[in-house]
Structure formats: C-alpha cells, structure tokens
Amino acid sequence: MGSKNKNIIIVKRLFIWILYLYAGFILYAKKGYLFPFIITFAKVIYPLSIFWLQIRIKTKDNFLPIDETMRTSQLWFNILPVLASFITVIITILNVFLYLTYKLI
C-alpha cells in the first residue's frame, strides 16, 4: 500500500512540474495574454521560483519558516520569495490557460 501511495505522489508531482515547465515555455516563447508588465514580472521571477522551489523541496523545509523571535527584516526576507513565487505560479498558469483557450476558440 505504501508503494502505491508513493507512486501517486510521484505522478502528481510530475504532472505539476510538467505543467509549470510548459507554462514557462509558453511564457517565454509565445505572446503573453495578460498585461505586459505582469508578463515581464513573471519572466523575471519564473527562473528564480523554480530554483527556490527546488531548494525548498530538496531540503524539506517549510515554505514559510516564520518564528516569533524573527525581526521584521528576517520576516520580509522569508516572505518575499514565497509571495513572488506564488504570484508567478498564478500568472504563468493563467497565461497558459488563456493561451489554450485562445488556440481552441
């Protein structure tokens, strides 16, 4: 039962990574379907978000390592990459869905 559950997790992660990499391909290779400044933001942050996610997954850290003893600068240092990556994921996936609906219609 454990190997079946592990295989499902691997398939889910593989699907998410393929979708995100395809979204990056559409982001860089095709015309953007959102506002230009949003596409520019996503183009800048997209490679950083992949790098940041790989580090977090590999080290198995929390996505938001927040502690009550942290200072404001430390909180911003931990929150900004998470926020930027999350926004980039939303922008790239939305851009792919708009691209696909435009191609289908």
Going residue by residue through the chain (105 aa), what tens digit of pLDDT does each one get? 567 788 888 888 889 889 888 999 999 998 888 899 999 999 999 988 888 777 777 777 676 777 788 888 888 888 888 889 889 989 999 999 999 999 998
DSSP one-letter code for 32: -
Radius of gyration of the chain (CA): 16
pLDDT at 36: 92
Residue written as token pair 């929390």: 62
Contacts of 95 (CB under 8 A, 6+ apart): 23, 26, 27, 32, 33, 34, 39, 42
Let me know: does 88 contact 42? Beta carbons within 8 Å.
Answer: yes
Predicted pLDDT of residue 2: 61
Q: Residue 85 corresponds to which tokens in the numbers above?
A: 């990556």
pTM value?
A: 0.79
Q: How many CB atoms lie within 10 A of CB 27?
A: 21
The whole-number pLDDT of residue 61 equals: 67
- pLDDT of 99 reads 93
User: Domain coordinates of the chain in residue numbers?
Assistant: 2-104
